[in-house]
Structure 1
Amino acid sequence: NWRKSELKHGVAAAEAQEVLLNDPLCQVDTRHSDVEQRYVALGVTNEGRRLFVSFTVRQGRVRIISARPMSRKERAIHEETQKAERR
């Protein structure tokens, strides 16, 4: 499943992991799974690439479901949140 996301969106697994380590904006994703708690994160890689990452936590480990470049709307949300945190 991850490989499919990597091919489709051009995001390496290491980049998605960087986003999660670089203080992303996270929230619970209630729309995509009734079986397990899922989360979405908006954040940046070490190179400054802005990504949307979907993930879950299983047995104490983070499992990345998919990652892609942020949409225009997601970039705006991320930028506004960053500005508010700097104030």
Structure 2
Amino acid sequence: EGLKTVSDMSKNEKGKIKIGASTTIGIYILPDIIKGFLQEHKGIEVSLSVANTEKIEKMILENEIDFAYIEGRCSYKEIIKEEMWEDEL
């Protein structure tokens, strides 16, 4: 659903995307990615909520955010998951 939202907005170049992220991803990884995205898609507004994984999962379940990036495993089978990258450590 989140990826469809982004795809639809990219075509129209306007809208708002609400992203949630666990702490490390939200602080160290996503800001540069979001910055690059916003430079290419000027009509799209992005909000980023950073919290612990448990809080982010609850936000997704309660439709407070469109999609999320978390570290580790997701605790809820109701959430559709896709592995984005693997930590090299």
Q: State the TM bucket, normalised to the shorter chain.
A: under 0.3
| Structure richer in helix, relative to its length | 2
The TM-score with structure 2 as length reference comes to 0.27
The TM-score with structure 1 as length reference comes to 0.28
